[in-house]
Amino acid sequence: MSAAVVKRVSRKGRGRRRNAPMSEINVTPFVDVMLVLLVIFMVAAPLMTAGVPLNLPQTAATAVPTEQEEPLVISIPADGDVTLMDAPVPQDQIVTRLRAILAERQTDRVFLRADGGIPYARVVQVMGALNAAGLTNIVLVTDTGGPRMDG
């Protein structure tokens, strides 16, 4: 009779071990998720920069406060062509496209980025086109760290 009692006790002991809580943390799923996020950010980070490479003039002016809406950016690279956001725009369609965009926007602020090597006359021509389209709130974009004029 003592042999039967021993068997029952050993069976109960094995059953408790199976249902006992695990005291170790399994970090494999956590590492997998973190590696996937790392790859996503490594791929997405270069895509977040501006698409038109410019050599902006430098100035000592302070930065303009940001808005809720994505800013409307017009760029004039060294070749003198006009780029609206990241898409090149033919010269005869600039005013038409700007008027269509202005009708859908809440603000009339436009950021004008021009390469420092292009003639000033070209910048003024584009500013005239912006004015003809109804955009009067024009912000000239520059790099910081330029020369100070106050001595």
Position with higher pLDDT, 137 vs 148: 137
Lowest mean pLDDT among 10-24, 53-67, 76-90: 10-24
Mean of pLDDT values over 81-95 = 86
The pLDDT value given to residue 85? 83
At residue 141, does pLDDT exceed 90? no
* Residues written for the chain: 151
User: Going from the N-terminus, what domains does the chain have, and what CATH number goes with each?
Assistant: 2-48 (no CATH), 58-144 (3.30.420.270)
How do residues 45-65 score in pLDDT, each as one tens digit?
A: 777 665 566 666 777 767 666
Do β-strands 58-59 and 143-144 pair in parallel, antiparallel, or remain unpaired? Answer: parallel
- b/e per residue 99-120 (b: at least 16 CB within 10 A): eeebeeeeeebbebbbbeebee
DSSP state of 119: -
- Which residues fall within 8 angstroms of residue 88, CB to CB, at 6 or more apart? 81, 82
